[in-house]
């Protein structure tokens, strides 16, 4: 065993050296190919539907709902100095740019006009005081803009890209003797998604149909010139979101060029040693968020490339990016200890993300994810006739699976434990099921046992719930998978969601990983995958 570990360490060192040379010579071509795959953004213009008012409601999402107040003529046909404040509902979630017109109605403008616009994805954003700021992310993410207009009788477009459905307009200052009206508002929305290329069966239950529709709108909004994780906040490409969005895209818009672009961008912007950055920005020039290395995400890059190849048949891209796949696996293998258990701290702490759930121990989930990624990466190697380059991968996967059963599995209870405190979590069972460590009977027992335990750590985001549904389908818990989709994503629909949210815990609607719920994304990429399940497994979800 010691000789094997030494051999693997030397192999990993050699891979780092080779990766540095390879990446150096390929970065420019990869980034060029990413630019060539950059999609066209389709433009749609929306007019506001009607005026609404905020109504406190303890049953509504986060305690607020919108009720129709009047037609747009109420705003357009009278002095805005009399209206002073109003909320506009565009009727749907949009991502793009807002334009308005100020029209002179009495005398000539002799001083500037100052107006505040606040845009929101959900009603509570317009009914929660933002200051003093409580969030751990920047206050500037909030979509409130003060516009000072020195010359009216012209169209004015707010330069900042906006994402949302509702808009509050407040008059802050205006000349006392001059009057004007606010007219001709419209929103120019953008997305690289065009028409949906899949259809539902005629007899699909209405709630499943609604979940599918909201999932498609979520994906559409996040499909810009990359797969954005959220068009309101972050507005960048994350590997974990890329994987789930690409799956959903395969069963809806089928815009495989966008997936290709993202794969090339991530490869072209990798670190010198070949390790990927967890997220990247496009503007002003494509660049990574430095110090954002997330090994669990990096391994999902490999799976994304495999699934892209299966969907598109693009062998050229898969072969071109194959060295990136090898590098992520070799890096992950360097964290294995002498017992074939993944050690998060072996080379210094490495970030592993599985869910926004406080206290979640990720060591056992990572063991499962790595087995899964190893197997998928080897599957890709076989398709590309590269298996001779990575002939040790199947043995590493097999040894990791054996080690998981020996070191992490509680045979008496039939569940996996994680970390020094033997934490019981859904996520540990989920990834051991997805990785194939457990057989079907064992998988069902592990999942059912954990889900019945009040003290087990349960999923906290749609990202984690995606993998819960995936695990249930994998082990034949089809009815449970369908009911969990209905009770989780369906609950968001019942709460008024027209796009699915980043964080959703039915027990705590105000939960936020950023310490302040208004900064949460309420249109988030990792929430769009019901469309993938509904169309990939119609025998489960469309009946």
Task: Look at the block and give the residue holding tokens 């089928």.
Answer: 254
Two tokens, residue 378 = 């080897």
Instruction: Report pTM.
Output: 0.94
| 99 close to 155: Cβ distance less than 8 angstroms | yes
DSSP 3-state percent helix, strand, coil across the chain (nearest 5): 45, 20, 35
Residue 333 and residue 319: Cα distance in Å, rounded? 22
Residue 421 and residue 191: Cα distance in Å, rounded? 46
How many C-beta neighbours within 10 Å does residue 198 have?
A: 16
Which of the 8 DSSP states describes residue 41?
A: P
What was the pLDDT predicted at 14? 54
State the DSSP string of 144-161: EEEEEESS-SSEEE-SS-
Q: What are phi and psi of 361, to 5 degrees?
A: -85, 130
Who contacts 58 (Cβ-Cβ below 8 Å, separation ≥6)?
Answer: none
Task: Look at the block and give the residue holding tokens 């747009």.
Answer: 72
Mark 234-248 as b/e (b = at least 16 C-beta within 10 Å). Answer: bbbbbbbbbbbbbbb
What was the pLDDT predicted at 24? 80
Residue 184 and residue 99: Cα distance in Å, rounded? 8
What was the pLDDT predicted at 25? 85
Residue 45 and residue 99: Cα distance in Å, rounded? 10
Who contacts 29 (Cβ-Cβ below 8 Å, separation ≥6)?
Answer: none
Query: Cis link prior to 132 (omega < 30° from 0)?
Result: yes
| 525 close to 218: Cβ distance less than 8 angstroms | yes
Q: What is the 3-state secondary structure (H, E, C) of 232-254?
A: CCCCCEEHHHHHHHHHHHHCCCC
Residue 15 and residue 323: Cα distance in Å, rounded? 10
Query: Cis link prior to 54 (omega < 30° from 0)?
Result: no
Can you list the residues of the chain whose pLDDT is less than 70?
1-19
């Amino acid at each position: 065993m010691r000789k094997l570990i030494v051999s693997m360490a030397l192999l990993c060192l050699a891979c780092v050296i080779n990766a540095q040379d390879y990446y150096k010579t390929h970065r420019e071509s990869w980034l060029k190919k990413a630019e060539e795959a950059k999609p066209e953004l389709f433009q749609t213009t929306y007019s506001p539907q009607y005026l609404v008012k905020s109504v406190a409601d303890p049953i509504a999402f986060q305690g607020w709902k919108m009720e129709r107040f009047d037609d747009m003529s109420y705003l357009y046909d009278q002095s805005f100095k009399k209206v002073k404040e109003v909320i506009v509902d565009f009727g749907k979630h949009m991502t793009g740019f807002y334009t308005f017109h100020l029209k002179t109605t009495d005398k000539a403008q002799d001083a500037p006009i100052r107006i505040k616009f606040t845009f929101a994805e959900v009603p509570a954003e317009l009914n929660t005081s933002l200051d003093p700021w409580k969030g751990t992310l920047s206050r500037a993410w909030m979509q409130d803009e003060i516009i000072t207009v020195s010359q009216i009788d012209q169209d004015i477009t707010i330069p900042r890209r906006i994402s949302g459905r509702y808009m509050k307009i407040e008059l802050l200052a205006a000349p006392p003797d001059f009057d004007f009206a606010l007219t001709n508002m419209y929103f120019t929305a953008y997305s690289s998604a065009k028409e949906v290329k899949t259809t539902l069966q005629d007899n699909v239950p209405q709630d499943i149909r609604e979940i599918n529709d909201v999932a498609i709108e979520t994906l559409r909004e996040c499909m810009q010139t990359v797969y954005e994780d959220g068009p309101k906040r972050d507005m960048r490409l994350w590997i974990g979101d890329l994987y789930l969005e690409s799956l959903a895209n395969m069963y809806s818009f089928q815009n495989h060029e966008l997936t290709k672009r993202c794969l090339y961008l991530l490869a072209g912007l990798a670190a010198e040693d070949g390790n990927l950055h967890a997220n990247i920005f496009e503007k002003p020039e494509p660049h990574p968020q430095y110090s954002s290395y997330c090994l669990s995400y990096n391994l999902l890059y490999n799976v994304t490339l495999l699934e892209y190849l299966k969907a598109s048949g693009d062998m050229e891209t898969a072969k071109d990016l194959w060295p990136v796949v090898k590098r992520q696996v070799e890096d992950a293998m360097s964290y294995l200890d002498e017992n074939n258990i993944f050690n998060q701290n072996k080379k210094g702490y490495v970030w592993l993300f599985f869910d926004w759930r406080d206290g979640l121990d990720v060591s056992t989930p990572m063991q499962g994810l790595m087995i899964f990624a190893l197997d998928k990466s080897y599957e890709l190697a076989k398709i590309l006739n590269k298996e001779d380059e990575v002939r040790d991968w199947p043995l590493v996967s097999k040894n990791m699976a054996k080690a998981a059963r020996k070191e992490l599995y509680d045979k008496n209870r039939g569940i996996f434990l994680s970390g020094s405190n033997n934490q019981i979590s859904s996520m540990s069972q989920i990834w051991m099921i997805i990785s194939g460590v457990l057989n079907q009977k064992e998988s069902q027992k592990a999942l059912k046992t954990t889900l019945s335990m009040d003290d087990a750590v349960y999923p906290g985001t749609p990202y984690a719930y995606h993998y819960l549904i995936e695990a249930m389908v994998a082990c034949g818990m089809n009815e449970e998978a369908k009911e969990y989709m209905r009770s989780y994503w369906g609950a968001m629909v019942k709460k008024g969601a027209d796009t699915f949210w980043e964080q959703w815990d039915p027990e705590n609607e105000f939960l936020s990983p950023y310490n302040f719920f208004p900064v949460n994304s309420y249109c988030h990429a990792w929430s769009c995958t019901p469309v993938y399940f509904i169309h990939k497994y119609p025998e489960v979800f469309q009946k």
